[in-house]
Amino acid sequence: MITRGWGILLLVCLSHLADSTHAQQTVASENEVIRARVDGARASDLSGAGQGNGLPWANGRFVYEFSPEVQLDPRKMEAFEQACRRLLENTALKCVNRSQAVAMGDRDYVYVVAGNGDASYVGRQGGKQLLSILIWNNPNIISHEIKHALGWGHEQQHPNRDEYVDILFENIPLEKQENFYVHDNGNEGDYDFDSVMHYYPTDFSRPARKSIRAKRKYQSYQSVMGQRDHLSKIDLLEIQEFYGDSSVEWCGISRKPRGSSNLAGFSTGCPWVCRLQSNPSVGAWVPGENCDTSSGQM
């Protein structure tokens, strides 16, 4: 079961190539420039420290827009859209191009660029937020970045990770250690060695050392960590559990909780909306006109 809630916004990036070559990325700002620098043979990210909170996506829509250079390449657009549809299949959340979403009143979206790194914020930031893709021919790398934008951090930062792995901080340079700090995003399923969100065992480590070691009883999973070959069952299940399955009804900014079909005498439809707090399944039901759909608050 997934503990509901919402956690810390991370600015994250991670791409695993077959040869374990990675890059460090920084989202620069409004000019859509993604600066990257190679850090040996490992990826780095700027996760966690001192940053604010992201939000779940609202209205049942994960909204994206392609930058002009991406629009010039139909293969890139199709690769992103296929990865998005695969993540959200059988969930209450749908992938929607901003050209359609604007007409429905959505103001928040990811702006997808062909950058020189793979990078994404964690969760909905409000307004325009960058998502950069460098490796377009691996759908699982694209899925990794989209899942960050949906609200998930890296697996080895899972709040229960110390039950499953040891983080070998003595093998990690001090300036890289923040990449292994625990971040409870409140949407995590069971710890998943097979997750597309997990780091490789030597990411950020000093030469010929490990940064992550599976605990003794989980040693058989040591070689599994860091795969970018597939989405695991938990990768998909935790999205469905957090955002709801395809039967969930969306009302205004939030989803209608199960068992609430007769709220305030209304048996059908969505005349009321749920105040979106940190958890999209909780909050007071109020008349729709009293809800600020820009922030999801009363």
Residues classed as catalytic: 145
Pairing of strands 94-97, 61-66: parallel
Give the Cα separation of 229 and 194 in Å (integer): 10
Rounded CA gap, 115 and 23, in Å? 12
Residue 280: closest CA among 110, 10, 1, 58: 58
Q: Are 44 and 28 in contact (CB under 8 A)?
A: no
Residue 171 and residue 248: Cα distance in Å, rounded?
46
Instruction: Please count the CA atoms within 13 angstroms of the CA of 296 that sit on its side-chain side.
Output: 26
Is there a contact between 6 and 185 (Cβ–Cβ < 8 Å)? Answer: yes
Q: Nearest-CA neighbor of 242 among 78, 12, 54, 10?
A: 54
